[in-house]
Structure 1
């Protein structure tokens, strides 16, 4: 899995960022109701033909939500001991995971240029094209083009929330910044 891990991790990070923002804006009921088409939030219960019919009383302990690039259905994992249960569900946009993204090595070669290379340093937290254009003085079209190349090269991830697309530097982008300029995203 090593050669594919950056791509898988970027997908999972985008899913987590999306769900976190959805939680903050819409609440846990919406997050749970939108995890998978088979899930329904009914009253105070999460119902699905994929989940065990038994009632699980969380008793205030909560549960872990774990996106997976390999799950096709939601599963609730429980076990003995103090660990809370975990809901493992398919990650959003998992169908895009294996799309071809240009010839091998093409993405990094296209990164040359200060404007494009400077964008990952401004995406340590999710940022929109408009916000990045305002911070850099570049046109939104130029920022969008640069971000497309960075995403294609696997250096930033994107996730859609409502009408906005948010870009965030991933682990690979941070490593490139550190190696190239001795800094991490956000100027650390």
Structure 2
């Protein structure tokens, strides 16, 4: 805990004194100076005296960064990733081969089978042809929900139509009353 607080304090101090000279708002950008070389490394752990992750990174100032980080995975095995970051992107190299679980392998197989079946159906489909035979069919629950939705939609549409008709009748009555009162007071001006 104490190490975390010290690391956060050092990071906050570094951010507060960060070089922002490259930010030029509303001015012509200046050519970029070459990057400064740097090296950093840290180790951390969840228990005192126990390191379960580490990171090291080196830049020679040419724009190429090389580094490595390690961690302990849930199976209590150390995993290391070495990387190079350059103008073409981030290029990791794993120290271990990832292997799918049985469930993931089965899901991939099922997905591939479905993909191939659908691709075959689409390959046999001629343009302009309606594929009614392959249209999805709703379950009883979907059909019930659809009917319930349509019923509610029709009820609400009828209520809105009635409210609209009532408001239009009120508007016409008000207009007629206003026109009638103008005739009575002799104030009608066409």
- For Structure 1 versus Structure 2, the TM-score category normalised by the shorter chain is under 0.3
Larger Rg: 2
